[in-house]
Chains A and B, each alone.
Chain A
């Protein structure tokens, strides 16, 4: 069965500290990987996708096919990064599975 794990339910870091939100997936084939974010009182939205190889709001995510991981990283966390983050592999539009989410809290 397809599975996505995000081992931390809650991650607290201080402003300016590095942050890494972990995501591991168990999928057949080669899924496209996404990170979605939900800020307080806002709708869930795309943060970044693996295929774009881009940095969004200072976040990057590296796909490690050997470890089947897609961890989200930012070198210097900001208070406005506090939000709920979901990892989501999409295997050719046939599986729509989201991870359980990690709540990031950036402390002043």
Chain B
């Protein structure tokens, strides 16, 4: 059973703080993703990584950075949190190989920036 875990379920931060969201997967998946989920907008891709130390910008990378130093861990960093980054953040992992594969999601982190 694939397990994707996120470090926090709920997080409250102040404007201007540096925020770290951690994601860990235990199935040796190559691809990992960070999305934000907002009502009416669905899931929007922030960044994804297809290998250790590799990253690609998604649709809304502004204000975010990521780090993937180990295959199982993918971190999302908000350098200076702003109120418009209040959202639900979802991490996902995905194997690559034969065919196309589903993404496996973590439980989400609800971030509130005040």
> Are B102 and A100 in contact, CB atoms less than 8 angstroms apart?
no
Per the bound structure, the CA–CA distance linking A43 and B99 in Å amounts to: 24
* Residues in chain B near residue A97, CB distance under 8 A: 45, 59
A51-B99, A92-B100 known; A86-B105 Cβ under 8 A: no
* Residues in chain A near residue B90, CB distance under 8 A: 44
**Distance to closest chain B CB from A28 (angstroms):** 16
Which of B85-108 touch A at CB < 8 Å? 90, 92, 94, 96, 99-100, 102-103, 105-108
> Are A44 and B105 in contact, CB atoms less than 8 angstroms apart?
yes
Q: Is A34 an interface residue (CB 8 A)?
A: yes
> Are B42 and A86 in contact, CB atoms less than 8 angstroms apart?
yes
**Distance to closest chain B CB from A93 (angstroms):** 6
Least CB separation from A6: chain B residue = B42
Per the bound structure, the CA–CA distance linking A100 and B35 in Å amounts to: 13
Interface size, A (range): 20 to 34
Encoded as 1 (CB less than 8 Å from any A CB) or 0, chain B from 31 to 71 comes to 10101000011111100100000000011000000000000
Which of A15-54 touch B at CB < 8 Å? 32, 34, 36, 43-46, 49, 51
Question: How many contacts between A and B, using CB within 8 angstroms?
Answer: 47
**Distance to closest chain A CB from B93 (angstroms):** 12
Per the bound structure, the CA–CA distance linking A9 and B94 in Å amounts to: 27
A45-B105, A93-B31 known; A32-B100 Cβ under 8 A: yes
> Are B58 and A100 in contact, CB atoms less than 8 angstroms apart?
no
**Distance to closest chain B CB from A30 (angstroms):** 11
A residues lining the B interface (CB < 8 Å): 6, 9, 32, 34, 36, 43-46, 49, 51, 86, 90, 92-93, 96-101
